[in-house]
Structure 1
């Protein structure tokens, strides 16, 4: 963001840069939130008097540990594990685990910082945290993945609990990995503490709709934005980046609502399927065969392309791959296509420069902390079911998810109006999430 910071906020940001050298993604996430808070600290000097901004930018706890495991050839491998327990003012730390070679301390801190505000926006009693490892499950055998997960949990278990810190999945951590992690936790603790992890299988403590939740929630949020502008998904041409869990379920929900997703991508390129992405084939390629979109292209008889998926014209764009995937040049393509809405399915997929381009062009922009909060919201619903030894139907859980996403949309709009930035979802999300956490921190004293 290009806006200048209030002096109090600038002091806090300067301290973040000093304390966290080289962690560019974390710097970006902090700067993005602080850029919205000028009107807040002007109206509420008690936040700066109590050091809320500086405290909020410093994790309550950071855990880094070694993860040794043995591969199928009998060689010892070493990875690094992370858990950042960022803020527990509203409830136990809550946030996923990411297994990816690019995971570093700064990656986990940026994700954990975003999670604080995302979780607050759900209105549910959960704090913010995140974790992961530089382990890459791609190309590993099931036995190797299991041994890694067991070693990872052998250290992590001492730091988590259903009233302390509740991890879930993220990139590289799906139902298989959650199963191995939960099994090791149960084995070590000798407790069936089902609320300690979310994203579990529905037959052993998991929630209906959890696999679908982030993608579905994204589209429910986008549907509200379009409705606020007097339109809908019906007949809309949509482009989705990514082809993992979030993207697949976003595509499914767009098709249910009458839109057509004509393109999706992965790390090797993208496909354009003018008839609409074939979900059955996409799931087969990405979830069962765990291969690239080249296989999808071959079976559909279409071209597998390289370059930017945002070169494909659409009126709704849903970036669902990874952070900083959509830059200013991509944003200008989106503007030229006459796009109405960009909503983030991934965490911080748009660079600050891209966001500036989109907002200046008058395109509705749904930031990830609001638009992709459906996953963690449904995780919190899973925690409710675990606490009460209950299990809800798919229909009931999806209705709760839709209700939560409508509430987030409304909260963003009303907060933006209250602080003089009507229709600005970025300001609305940042301010609404921040003020809820800040008020709780004030009530709890200097801790």
Structure 2
């Protein structure tokens, strides 16, 4: 199963420390979002040299310069009262430097040692591990597992004391969709547990539907809606009703260049389950208005071979008028009662059986032929004719494997539904060629899923 599209949310908010002119104090930090600021507490740095080094580190405008200055400060003052503040600045600076994934993860892990519930660090590690998994197929499973472990930590995190509630709410709103997505993708791609993946995707979408339904219309919610639909179709047995719903839901909000790909998938599974495309547009329209299928939503399944066979019996007053292929289809697929009802009209009757020769026994007493179009296509016999007397050498030559023969006759003797086979007795090869009474088949056909 391949992703059709995926966009990552990666936004690192920058903050500025508030320095009082001439006073060696700084505002209490909140590194992840401006909205998380609001504490009026102040931290006093007593050592002027330490204060100058701190001020130098946090006022650098270049991410690379800030990262370097922060690292120098932490090495020089490992027990500083502003260690957490500088680590927060380091995490943000490292995250803005291209191709700096390992250092960003390292800085974030160091910050977590001081503040285990720092959501920015948890978020960065989880997201960067997921990105590393995509870039390193050989290590993808372990990296995804690592990302998922960090995502679980993020979902369980509690608000740090120096983060305001409204800021925390904004942080969770920004990060939880990504955490849920990582957990879902880990079940699908690393653990390869389709049922668990379905449950994880649904949990993700339930959270979005409750907190902000619009998140399901953009990545990662939109992409995971598509993956959920695809995963439903791969279950054993497949759940095509839910599969079609979430595929059409994704189609509604996908970028224009991806809509045809998703539409093709959705229509394929709809037709495979329903038998035809009628009412597909109604499902497409309904899924645009709801993240999940409404109560009572269903898609009528296509009629089964049994439905078709029983329907023909019910609608045919005289079963003897049916074409031979229709009779065989009913014997193979109808309920036992309906099959026996038809067999009562065939038993001990003599008939001409046109078909393709599949085999002739060495002693010339039995011929197997393929009569229906399906049997011919599969090159499997569906009729066995036991002959009155062995075939002559000339007759054996005439009944070469693969040739079509219309002059075989026999008496209906028995049948089996599984495997599908009709047994004839007292068979013979007529000397004269007679045109068999054979009407176009109304019921027997190969089921199509395309």
Please give the range of the TM-score, normalised by the shorter of the 2 chains. Answer: under 0.3
When normalised by structure 2's length, the TM-score is: 0.21
Highest CA radius of gyration, 1 or 2?
A: 2
Higher relative contact order (CA 8 A, sep 6+): 1
